[in-house]
Structure 1
């Protein structure tokens, strides 16, 4: 039975299996398999790489269960990894980690509106703000806190001193009031008991200073500014996105992450055609050299017209219905052994019918052309070919200009 390892979204600091329960139930029903969801640790209490560690542990739990587990080991060829939004970030990072560590790869992965560039360096991050669901003040559904950013240490020190003085003054006044009270009785003086030596030793150990001190500012962020372009934080900046299992990548044409998603898909299929900045590659020369040996990744890219971020969450809409069908078709296709798969639908000169993808007919798929299936999908599910790469502005950007934090994006977020 096929298994989907699902990684929920939520900007790395909220979300859970419960927020995606219907999402996951519907996907499991469409794929006719099991779904294993990861409630990974969230920031800021658990910053990077805690969530990635949890996702890797979940994958290893499936393929190499510990003694006493309630399931047998799952064949990686029957596993599909699925992640949406921030879960898509973790899914891509997990795939690269599995590849780099030499672990058995899953059959494929479904990336739904993956957030893969935390530097916000692509144009759509500011162009599509009026047509997407994140509010103007950022990806969070919460308004900025009046307590953020934290005050400087000098201010906190003065405030703590004032609180200590006020507390001392209150205790002194309370002591004088008790002394004036007629019914006040002082505790009888007696011989103090000697403390138990064992207890004293335990107490001294418990109050020993921690080996590592963590500043308040460091504990309130998911990643540090210097990590924003790190390959496992913003996986679009991996030295290579080749050597991964087949990917199904879905984006909304009106979402703010559209450009980075399209760039991710094309960079995975054509690692040599879409390079990254030299400064990023130089951060780890050994991994960059190893990345040259990875083959291109097969990518199925779909962009849905007039659609916002994370389409499957809006499961009551018509476009979401076709998105679920495409996901189920892909999952069944990659998890079916090669000997059981019929031939693909020839794509040369073929006119794609309406709603070509169906979970009940997962092999009714066009051929990959140059490692990609590139499609646009209308609001009513009509599939049409995507325009050439030369006509897509996000693919014509200067490599030295992307992956850098821009002033306008920094002001907004």
Structure 2
């Protein structure tokens, strides 16, 4: 049982940049060895509780006394500039920032778009998209080629664009602005401009869909709201913003990191290519191993709560570290070992509880198809540069790679 220390603040400022892509920061490991829950200092100067343990993390995420509402005082942000925080709070809340019945109602309106039946119907189209992306990779006349540009970004971008009804021709517009918005080093002005331009674009799109509906998620949501008697334009923009940004940025980074991990662990890659039935388990292990969106599971206590031996007071911020929890040795034996046969579906990469990622099975489907297709069609794929030379997203709230050179 991990000792829990409640009365000491860790001598490290969060967030901490990842160094090696195949391990959490050393500070994460040190904190988890010392305590399942620690008090830490954020880059903003505020303090919060850092939850390192898997059991404690699940307890927090399942407890409705911890709020996801970013507008509440005490909510822990991973950025220092107060202007960006205030601008974010002034916008209509995203579904990830709602609580209680407001969140449940928003989730019910969307859950039908991500059923097993609908995803099964989407699978052939996702396969077509992946095949076209691999065609583009193989047609590249320069090597090494950038997997991010040819496969990692185009696949989830095109999938989410088709699902939402967003013109794929505009993908470069929203990709550039999403990158600025999630980069911690962006200035308040840059971040504010990027978010405003994204929302402006989506606002125009919702207006257009209201008069010219199509067979897509946004049009179906507009029709549903009209049937219910009121069109919530701002709410639809927030919904589209969340699905568009989360629907491509996270999956794109997992494609790149998953390929990187398999290329550098050839014995694990051999197991997957020899038996494609292993691919779903391999996807779960890669999700556990990287846990790229480590700060999404932030909360603030709405009343006094006791987790284990720690008393968390109302108004105190809490950050559940998915990466640290996914490397908890009491749950995942030898967590530093990439093991595609582990069966690690109980990881926290998609969160847990009421806010567990709505699109998680869409992401799984895309990852499975990409890995199976890419390594079947390009069996000699390899990394032509040292890992330390890769431009990794150490400055972003969503970890990944800006580029991933590959050759074959």
Check whether TM > 0.5.
no
